[in-house]
């Protein structure tokens, strides 16, 4: 309820209005506001990037694990040895392994940089 009163009746310090007050801000106040906005935005982007990398690694590991499931889709279907492409399987498995490793390296770098830049995680 206090917020409603503040919006409805400006105090004596607000009587000059936000525009005029903004024009009167000094360089330090302006720099502080800009620094806060830049730091908050950048920190949020780093957090999202780290979460995206973690999710990507989980999905790729799950995909690699799912490649081991060669069971039939139903009781009447069987995977014949002649239908299985070993070369394609090996290439895909290795490619996934490389992607996982590269993403883990990227994630490690992102975490270290986040900790250095923002002191967290």
The per-residue pLDDT for range 19-48, each reduced to its tens digit, is 888 878 888 888 999 999 999 999 999 999
Position 85 scores a pLDDT of 85
pLDDT digits (tens, 9 = 90+) for 86-100: 899 999 999 999 999
Reported confidence tier of residue 14, pLDDT bands at 50, 70, 90: low
Residue 51 belongs to some domain of the structure = yes
Range of the domain at 76: 15-118
Position 79 scores a pLDDT of 64
Residue 86 belongs to some domain of the structure = yes
Number of domains the chain contains: 1
121 has pLDDT over 60: no
Residue 22 belongs to some domain of the structure = yes
Residue 31 belongs to some domain of the structure = yes
Using alpha carbons only, how large is the chain's radius of gyration in Å? 28
Residue 9 belongs to some domain of the structure = no
């Amino acid at each position: 309820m206090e917020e409603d009163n503040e919006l409805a009746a400006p105090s004596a310090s607000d009587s000059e209005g936000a525009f005029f007050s903004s024009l009167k801000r000094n360089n330090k106040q302006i720099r502080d506001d800009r620094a806060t906005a830049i730091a908050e935005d950048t920190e949020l982007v780093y957090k999202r990037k780290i979460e995206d990398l973690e999710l990507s690694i989980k999905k790729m590991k799950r995909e690699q694990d799912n490649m081991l499931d060669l069971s039939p889709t139903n009781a009447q279907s069987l995977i014949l040895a002649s239908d299985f492409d070993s070369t394609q399987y090996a290439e895909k498995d290795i490619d996934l392994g490389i992607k996982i490793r590269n993403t883990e390296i990227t994630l490690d770098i992102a975490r270290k940089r986040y900790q250095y830049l923002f002191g967290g995680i």
